[in-house]
Amino acid sequence: MKKDLPPNIVEDVYIAVVLESESPTSRHWNVYLINQKEEPIKNVLISSKGYGIKDEREVKTSVLRHFIGDVDASEFALVEAIDEQVFGLTNEYLLSYYIGRTIYDKKFIFLPESIVDSNLIRIPVINKPGILIGI
């Protein structure tokens, strides 16, 4: 069954949480898909959810599904806005896309408290500070 399927490994496609802007009172964050392949990816679908423990009780966010469509080579696409209140949770993104007739899937996980200032880097292609998963 599953062992008979080819190992369709996702490479050169990333999920990033990017700091878009900040003021003395707030920060605005977005989640992006980055395609650093030399070919477009088609029919991109991303499901996102958050889960974990906050204030000593179990918390789960709603599952959100985003149809992104096609993302050209060396381009990026906005997935969703993300609130700082969920940074203390595990934030999970399940990505599916096609190249030709082959489907690719990968789960990207931002662990609790991984989205912090000390982990910020300059995100390629977008050229803003953020946290990158998938390298």
Residue 135 predicted with pLDDT over 90: no
Structure tokens at 7: 């190992």
Helices (H) and strands (E) in the chain, counts: 0, 10
Tokens 């149809």 belong to 67
Nearest alpha carbon to residue 106 among 84, 135, 83: 135
C-beta of residue 115 within 8 angstroms of C-beta of residue 133: no
pLDDT for 14-73, tens place per residue?
999 999 999 999 999 999 999 999 999 999 999 999 999 988 999 999 999 999 999 999
Would you say how long the chain is, in residues? 135
